[in-house]
């Protein structure tokens, strides 16, 4: 009598690179992840396309692609079309979270504090006077559908705001008030919030260069935050991840003001995994070292692969 079908362990394929502005950071993430997953295969994508040899019956994908097609649901949709099991949020949640304006609408529906924003196309920006009247003199201007810190501008006053608006490359942009407070980040794993990390950039601005330059910022984890504020932030993060449909792992960024209030800024569904990345720091607050974190990140996808193989 034949027994049930036996599922062979899949090969873990790590996808990194792609054509986005965050390609080099993604390659660093991919190499770091591959170093702690023995037997995995690291693929450094030259552009925005999947390898033609991916096989749903043999492979599980762990994407560490940042920005653009790798994070906005494009890659995820392509994997779903092939029936390939993969780690991280699905195509719909990825597309939602890549759009900061849509994400903030979910924040408000989920009782997660968020600062006001103005969204616009670079070809039809608001006037500087209108933006300052609505958001204040200190504003943050950034793309609404790119990775965090990409294209970040921080003008002050109507004159600088006008100059910034006039120089924007084509695309979708948003402006927010520049909040004064402590910059924090919190990860999630399997739907559970991890620890709070505080970022203290030496330049005073946590932009793209500062984020990915070793030694350019100080990181404090777990962040020294009053217990009530930490618990409230963790609960809000859990609500937000669930409301956005995030799966397996993610990271959210927020500002904690001096009066104890906090405002969430965005969610990153494929957080960086380099030596200066925030998700590993957040996980370490819960006792997870880097190798264990990576194993936990890919485990749900392996389980999905195995369930599919048995049916």
**For the chain, what are the domain ranges?**
11-88+291-309, 96-114+180-287, 118-177
Measuring CA to CA, which residue among 264, 261, 294, 265 is closest to residue 277? 294
Q: Which residues pair with 219 in a beta bridge?
A: 199
List, by residue number, the catalytic residues: 22, 148, 212, 251, 253, 266, 268, 272
Q: Which residues pair with 69 in a beta bridge?
A: none
Express each pLDDT in 83-125 by its tens digit.
999 999 999 999 999 999 999 999 999 999 999 999 999 999 9
State the Cα torsion 215-177-249-52 to the nearest 10°. -90
Hey, CA dihedral for 31, 254, 297, 58, is it positive or negative? negative
Hey, CA dihedral for 252, 276, 280, 51, is it positive or negative? positive
The model's pTM: 0.90
Question: Exposed/middle/buried for 201, CB within 10 Å: 0-12, 13-18, 19+?
Answer: middle
At the topology level, CATH places domain 118-177 in Dna Ligase; domain 1 (3.30.1490)
Tell me how crowded residue 1 is: count the other CB atoms within 10 A of its CB: 2
Q: Which range (167-171, 203-207, 224-228) has the least confidence?
A: 203-207
Instruction: State the first-to-last Cα distance of the chain, in angstroms, to the nearest integer.
Output: 19
Express each pLDDT in 178-206 by its tens digit.
998 999 999 999 999 999 999 998 766 65
Taking the domain 11-88+291-309, which CATH number applies?
Answer: 3.40.50.20
Taking the domain 96-114+180-287, which CATH number applies?
Answer: 3.30.470.20
Would you place residue 71 in the very low, low, confident or very high pLDDT band (cuts 50, 70, 90)?
A: very high
Would you place residue 5 in the very low, low, confident or very high pLDDT band (cuts 50, 70, 90)?
A: very low
């Amino acid at each position: 009598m034949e027994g049930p079908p036996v599922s062979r362990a899949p090969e873990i394929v790590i996808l990194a690179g792609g054509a986005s502005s965050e390609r080099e950071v993604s390659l660093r993430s991919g190499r770091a992840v591959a170093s702690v997953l023995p037997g995995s295969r690291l693929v450094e994508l030259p552009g925005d396309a999947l390898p033609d040899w991916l096989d749903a019956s043999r492979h599980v994908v762990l994407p560490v692609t940042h920005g653009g097609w790798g994070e906005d649901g494009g890659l995820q949709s392509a994997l779903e079309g092939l029936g390939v099991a993969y780690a991280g949020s699905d195509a719909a949640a990825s597309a939602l979270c890549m759009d900061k304006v849509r994400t903030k609408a979910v924040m408000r529906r989920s009782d997660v504090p968020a600062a006001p924003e103005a969204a616009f196309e670079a070809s039809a920006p608001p006037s500087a006077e209108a933006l300052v009247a609505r958001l204040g003199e200190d504003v943050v201007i950034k793309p609404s559908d790119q990775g965090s810190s990409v294209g970040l501008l921080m003008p002050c006053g109507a004159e600088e705001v006008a100059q910034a608006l006039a120089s924007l490359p084509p695309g979708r942009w948003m402006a927010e008030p520049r909040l004064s407070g402590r910059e924090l980040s919190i990860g999630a794993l399997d739907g559970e919030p991890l620890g709070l990390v505080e970022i203290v950039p030496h330049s005073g601005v946590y932009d793209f260069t500062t984020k990915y330059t070793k030694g350019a910022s100080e990181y404090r984890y777990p962040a020294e935050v009053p217990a009530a504020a930490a618990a409230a932030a963790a609960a809000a993060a859990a609500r937000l991840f669930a409301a956005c449909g995030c799966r397996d792992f993610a990271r959210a960024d927020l500002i904690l003001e001096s009066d104890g209030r906090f405002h969430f800024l965005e969610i990153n569904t494929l957080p960086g995994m380099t030596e200066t990345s925030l998700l590993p720091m957040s996980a370490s607050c819960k006792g997870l070292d880097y190798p264990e974190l990576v194993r936990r990140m890919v485990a749900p996808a392996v389980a999905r692969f195995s369930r599919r193989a048995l049916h």
